[in-house]
Structure 1
């Protein structure tokens, strides 16, 4: 196994959850769950403006760029922390990169379409090149190289973008067969894959420590099978794990071995 580096970004201001401040504690707990890893904690800028998020993203990018070979695991914090590591993967892999976005939500809004105005609901759209000017990657990813996996709570604007953009949405039902997900990523032409996991992709009946739960999600053991199938076929380009709001001890008990196994399989 190669060296694993954890970049902890305890940003909570991009979340629309009323309990978002729990994400700070969640980021620290997630980082500690990754065994035998080098760890770097990014200082989060004050405020919830695009300018503040841009400062944090710049700091996170510096941390990612300072890592040598080996898997980089970015832990949040809200989903907006993915701006820097995904941008770095895009710069490294270019058209070879595919992005798999495990999430109960689309994260595909723009500032104009967002019902909440929360950045964590815009981050995936920003990575495709649409959003706040300060929060766009230097190199956008084509929607045709993005696979949204497990989303089940989509806003009207997000549904329209999925229908028109070429982005692939693999539903929870379709994810019952890992081969369907692998084939969807292969169809993008990807040779490497960055895997984003918002923990609300899990079913809240099993894992409830998230700010925006949505019923009908994945079981933890099946999420492991899906990630294992991806990294067996494609080169791992990075792993992001976000949106842990610790509230139940049983969720932490479930999550600790899950995170360790996810990282082991990705590296």
Structure 2
């Protein structure tokens, strides 16, 4: 039986408090192949349209909860078997992955392809895009966690491409016994990922691809490739080390053993397009 795939355009930028993620999401929708199933867009206010206030230690929490509710409603409207999400910042995975957990339960594994584990809380960081995986597990802000009825078992997670985690992140991963595979392991063949799929008897995969797992010297549409950036402008957090070929090989390997039912592409930062957009708006006869 053919499965219904919902394609969700989700230009959320408030979770990372970074307006260019809005344009990044729109460009992903423009560049993607034509959808064969339903397509929905989560309504997201344009940057600058409303103030972003910090509530309960989370930047723009009212907007994020509204968008989370809207995304959940759109997903429930279609009750899809599979979901593609074109983000936006990393928080866009919360509602669709919660849906997939309800549908597939312990047969679902989450392959989180990212330089960072996204398990922080308000005690470490106010931007909720770094809280999303923790919320799926059931830790962090209660209003985010409340949207996850079937919590994600830590053993069903593989974080691929991670390196140099912060002390809190390292302790969290160790205490929850979350499997990880670093860039060099991925480049060497990704055997740890395949072993995880077999060990956990994973039949279905929800794949979260944060584009910042890619080497910013080779793929320029990520945060860390900001033109003119200084060496320490991003707090010395981990920056991507993988190539597009590394990521595609990993995903193809993983989906040869478990069926892909979820795919998020997040944190597209198209610097050249942003700068070109600004140029166009400043030129004579263009306003």
- Name the TM-score class by shorter chain: 0.7 to 0.9
1:54-69 equivalences under 5 Å are 54-67=65-78
Task: Quote the residue 2:44 is aligned against.
Answer: 44
C-alpha distance in 2, partners of 1:70/1:32? 23
The alpha-carbon distance between structure 1 residues 87 and 125, as it changes in their structure 2 partners (threshold 3 A), is same
Instruction: Provide the alpha-carbon RMSD of the alignment.
Output: 2.0
Residue 9 of structure 1 contacts residue 74 of structure 1 at CA under 8 Å; is this kept in 2? yes
Match of 1:195 in 2: 207
Q: Does the CA contact (< 8 Å) of 2:112 and 2:208 recur in 1?
A: yes
1:220 is the counterpart of 2:221 = no
TM-score in terms of structure 1 length: 0.85
Do 1:106 and 1:153's aligned partners in 2 also have CA atoms closer than 8 Å? no
Gaps of 5+ in 1: 250-267
Q: Which residue of 1 aligns with 2:143?
A: 134
Q: Distance in 1 between matches of 2:259 and 2:174?
A: 28
**C-alpha separation in 1, matches of 2:109 and 2:224:** 26
* 2:283 aligned residue: none
- Relative distance call for 1:80 and 1:216 in structure 2 (3 A) is closer
Q: How far has the Cα of 1:216 moved from its partner?
A: 5.0
- Flag structure 2 segments of 5+ consecutive residues without an equivalent: 53-58, 226-237, 274-287
Taking the TM superposition and a 5 Å limit, the aligned residue runs for 1:1-267 are 4-15=5-16, 20-37=18-35, 38-44=38-44, 47=52, 48-67=59-78, 71-112=82-123, 114=124, 116-136=125-145, 137-176=148-187, 177-212=189-224, 214-215=238-239, 217-248=241-272
Equivalent pair of 1:53/1:135 in contact (CA under 8 Å): no
How many residue pairs were aligned?
244
TM-score by length of 2: 0.79
Cα 1:95–1:70, aligned 2, differ >3 Å: closer, same or farther?
A: closer
1:130-188 C-alpha deviation (Å, 9 max, x unpaired): 01111011221011111111012422111001111111011111112133312123222
Runs of 4+ that moved beyond 6 A: none
Structure 2 counterpart SS, 1:35: coil
Q: Secondary structure at the match of 2:221?
A: coil
Counterpart CA distance in 1 for 2:76 and 2:160 is 28
Query: 1:256 corresponds to which residue?
Result: none
User: 1:6 offset after TM fit, Å?
Assistant: 1.8
Q: For residue 66 of structure 1, give the secondary structure of its aligned residue in structure 2.
A: helix
